[in-house]
Structures are given as structure tokens and as C-alpha cells.
Copies of this chain bind each other. A is one copy, B any other.
Amino acid sequence: MNDKPDRKQEILQAAIACFNELGIEATSIDAIRTRSGASVGSIYHHFGNKEGIVAYLFLNGLDDYWQRLLAALQQAADAEAGVRAMVSCYVEWVLASQDLARFIFQARTLVSRSAQGEQLLQKNKENLRAALGYFKPWLERGELRQLPPELYWALIVGPAQEYCRAWLSGRVKADPRSLIVPLADAAWRAVGG
């Protein structure tokens, strides 16, 4: 049994818990220190500063999501399956990683201004391009409606995102899982050919 604590991981877990309970801005390094049992020096050694912790959690969290999404898209046989996969994949990810998702909604702006902001922009662009790559054949086959290209993402995932955001913050109650089908139906009506 390996009981050597992994400090970096402990710090990350303490941080995300604090961020969600208190909010990012209101979380002090000292709160993270206390909760994780690490020392100040240790925290700064691993992450540089508070922003560094936020950026690390954010970028790795997003990676996890995009990995799932792209895998799902790859399996989709046609446009409708692809669109439905994007919606359900999004909702399932939020459900499976609630704390992370809640955190990510709050951290976006912070990260985009941080030292890692450029990296985020880069990843974002790559991921989106990869996703749109799957769309091209569907578009050519006329399975998808012709729309301004920058709109597809917002039309397909926007409603699920908006709903999940509200759900994670407690503003609405209905379990997102029960809404996957209506959300996917609506997304398909919005962009389907």
C-alpha cells in the first residue's frame, strides 16, 4: 500500500473544494493550505500562485471534457447522431463532474487573462476545429442546415450549457439527465437539414 501523499493532488482537491464552497476570489491560500495540509511553500512550488492553481484545474478539466466529446463525435454515424452526441456528452460530463463543471463556469475569464490564457485559446481553437471537421461531410451531404459557421456550437450546446449552469447554481431543479432528450431534439430541430 502506497500511503505517500501526493501533495500536488491534495492541493488540487482542497482547492477545488474551497473554490466551490467559498468562490474563487474569496478562497485564500491559507484556506487551501489548511484544508490540504500542505505548506505555503509547497503550494507555490507546484503552482506559482493562486491563478496557477485555477489554470491547472481549468485546463485539465476541459481536456477531459473535449476528449469525451471528440470520441463521441467520432462514433457518430450521421449528422443527427453527432448533434445528439454533443448534447448528451455535455450533460453527462456535467453530471459526472459537478464540482469541476461548476468551477469551470466561474474560472473561464480568470484563466483567459492569466499567463496560461494563450494556451487556452490555442487548445480551444484546435478542439473546435477538430469538432467542426466531423461536420464537414454532413454539411456536404445536406444533412445539416447551412448556417453561419460560428453559430453551430452555440445552437447545439448553448441551451444545454445554459441549463446546466443554472442547475449547478441551484436556480433550476429538474435533473439535467431527464432533459437530455428534449435538449437533443431541440438542437436537432435547430440545425438539422
Contacts and interface: CB of A to CB of B under 8 A. Distances in A.
A109 B166 contact: no
B23 A151 contact: no
B158 A153 contact: no
Interface in A93-138: 105-106, 108-110, 112-113, 121, 124
So how many copies of this chain end up in the complex?
Answer: 2
A166 B22 CA distance: 26
Nearest to A22: B113
Contacts of A29: none
Interface residues of A, number: 43
Contact of A159 (B23, B106, B158): B158
Q: State the majority secondary structure of interface residues on A.
A: helix
Given A150-B163, A162-B161, A174-B148, A191 B182 contact: no
A18 interface: no
Contact of A162 (B154, B182, B187): B154
Contacts of A147: 182, 186
Contacts of A148: 174, 178-179, 182
A16 interface: no
Contacts of A23: 109-110, 113
B182 A163 contact: no
A121 to B, nearest CB: 8
Shortest 3 CB-CB distances between A and B: which pairs? A158-B162, A158-B159, A158-B158
22 contacts: A22-B113, A23-B109, A23-B110, A121-B171, A124-B171, A148-B179, A148-B182, A150-B166, A150-B173, A150-B174, A150-B179, A151-B183, A151-B186, A154-B162, A154-B163, A154-B183, A155-B159, A155-B183, A158-B161, A158-B163, A187-B190, A190-B190
